[in-house]
Amino acid sequence: MPKLIVSNQRTDEMIGDLGSLTPEYRRYVAGQAQRMVWLAEPGDVLVLPVELDEEFLSYVAGLKGIDRASWAVLVPPVGRLGEDVLSRDRLEDAGFVARLRDAVREHAVRTILPFHFDRVSVRLARALGLDEHTPGFPFAAQGGTTLLNSKATFRALAVGHGIPVPYGTVTDDRAEAEEFVRQAFDAGRPVIVKQDFHVGGIGNEIVSPVPGIRPIGAVGTEVIVGPAALAAHLDRRWAHYTGPHRSRVVLEHYTPESPAVYSELLVSDDGVRLVGHGEMRMKPVINGLIVPAPSRQLAAFAAFLDDSRRLSETLRRIGYRGSLSVDAIVTPEERILVNEINGRVVGSAHIHRIGEELVGGDYPGTHVLIEKRRVAFPDFRTTLDKLVAAGLAYDRTRRTGVVVTVHDNGRTGGFGGSCLIAEDDAAARALEEEVDALFGGTSQ
């Protein structure tokens, strides 16, 4: 059944205010919006923030075995924030909605798949008559997906299920937050401070009583020495932490040098399916994936997957339908502490779809995939020609090689993406070194 894909990679409900994003980050988001193309099936209609190179679209369709002509790709007029995010004014432009209605009718679209099911997506679904057949729409229409992307709500759900989480608290009281951090500092422990709504670690900061704490999953670390300095820091940053809506703030003991892992699940009327898992490469916030998770052999990993399923089953019972990620850290003591859920089309979805469609068969049993983001590719034709000449392009027979996942002919200045498919960990690392050498190194 054809669907309408809306690649609204960032929304006001996800981060508080799209206008708070830097122009550079908005350009990055525009590039990442291309990832939703990998989820498209024959006859789908796609809404993207920027025009894509037709050669790239044909490349994706060809690898997926789909006729590119079966897709309709629409880009709304430029809005108040420019062309890099699908802001409300762009998606609700009357002329654009009329064009979209024609495309939906022509392609016999029955359902909608937004990256994030926010209020704008709900209104759009209703305007286009897609609400009745879209799984989970009643839950989304009542703000349910916003609830699931709350870090504060996550802690309540996880603790209620008896799932191990980092020691922490949720509060909207500045004095209570100061007391929590002071007690942690007295014990020599750094604290990670999280905005309730944000993505990719962008809304997280680490405060520490000692230097040398490397941020993983946060934008940076600030060393604070003494109670007076702590009070001054919170005076300065509290409004930022609570955001424009005076949201709750999550504070947790931060465990240094703890890799971030995730499980991706699909929640449907029929039940919960584990799609896959991996490790998130942090530099210091997410900049790619390793699939499957290198820590999968740990004794605690099976329990992590069980906990992920239990949470997902609860969300299924209350009406959520769609992709879900459960995020965690692996401590130096090999404990796995769950620290977040995301109820939306998650950033690993396109990688696991590539694994299912291009590796197939035994995926995810034998192959290793490395996703690289913020890659500086030359123009698309040159990129492919270089990969082919070097013998690195994806090979259908071997089911290994490099897949270009995001490309915009340099418009974003180094925000391309790729998926490296290999038979094992060593081969994947070797392939990555060859790709970096071929394109002069990357930010990864």
Residues 6+ apart with CB under 8 A from 312: 265, 267, 272, 324, 326
- Once rounded to an integer, what is the mean pLDDT over residues 183-207? 89
**Least confident interval from 25-39, 130-144, 171-185, 198-212:** 198-212
**What angle, 0 to 180 degrees and rounded to 10, lies between the N-to-C axes of helices 380-389 and 54-64?**
50
CA distance linking residue 72 with residue 83, whole number of Å: 19
Q: What pLDDT score does 409 carry?
A: 63
Q: Within a 10 A sphere around the Cβ of 104, how many other Cβ atoms?
A: 21
- Once rounded to an integer, what is the mean pLDDT over residues 147-169? 95
What distances in angstroms separate CA 117 from CA 135, 137, 322, 393, one per listed residue?
A: 12, 9, 10, 35
CA distance linking residue 369 with residue 220, whole number of Å: 28
Residue ranges with strand state E in 148-231? 168-171, 191-195, 204-208, 221-223
The separation between CA 411 and the C-alpha centre of its own chain, rounded to angstroms, equals 21
- SS3 sequence of 381-422: HHHHHHHHHCCCECECCCCEEEEEEECCCCCCCCCEEEEEEE
**Sorting pLDDT into bands at 50, 70 and 90, what band is 96?**
very high
pLDDT in tens, 97-107: 999 999 999 99
Q: What pLDDT score does 197 carry?
A: 82
Among residues 159, 165, 235, 220, which one has the least CA distance to residue 190? 220
- The mean pLDDT value of the chain amounts to 92
For the record, the structure tokens of 99 come out as: 């064009």
What distances in angstroms separate CA 7 from CA 33, 75, 83, 257, 411, one per listed residue?
A: 6, 10, 13, 33, 18
What distances in angstroms separate CA 358 from CA 38, 340, 367, one per listed residue?
A: 11, 30, 11
Query: Domains in the chain and their CATH numbers?
Result: 3-147 (no CATH), 167-253 (3.30.1490), 257-343 (3.30.470.20), 353-444 (3.30.70)
Q: What pLDDT score does 431 carry?
A: 97
331: part of which helix (H) or strand (E)?
none
Evaluate if residue 443 carries a pLDDT over 50: no
- Once rounded to an integer, what is the mean pLDDT over residues 235-246? 85
Alpha-carbon dihedral 15, 16, 19, 23, rounded to 10 degrees: -20
Evaluate if residue 380 carries a pLDDT over 50: yes
- Once rounded to an integer, what is the mean pLDDT over residues 347-367? 90
Q: Within a 10 A sphere around the Cβ of 61, how many other Cβ atoms?
A: 18
pLDDT in tens, 383-430: 999 999 999 999 999 999 999 999 976 565 678 899 999 999 999 999
**Least confident interval from 276-285, 318-327, 359-368:** 359-368
Q: What pLDDT score does 384 carry?
A: 95
Q: What pLDDT score does 245 carry?
A: 67
- Once rounded to an integer, what is the mean pLDDT over residues 362-369? 84
- Once rounded to an integer, what is the mean pLDDT over residues 6-15? 84
Evaluate if residue 202 carries a pLDDT over 90: no
What distances in angstroms separate CA 251 from CA 177, 178, 184, one per listed residue?
A: 7, 10, 10
Among residues 151, 367, 168, which one has the least CA distance to residue 242? 151
For the record, the structure tokens of 246 come out as: 């005076």
**Sorting pLDDT into bands at 50, 70 and 90, what band is 444?**
very low
Contact present, 267 and 322 (Cβ < 8 Å): yes
Task: Name the pTM for this structure.
Answer: 0.92
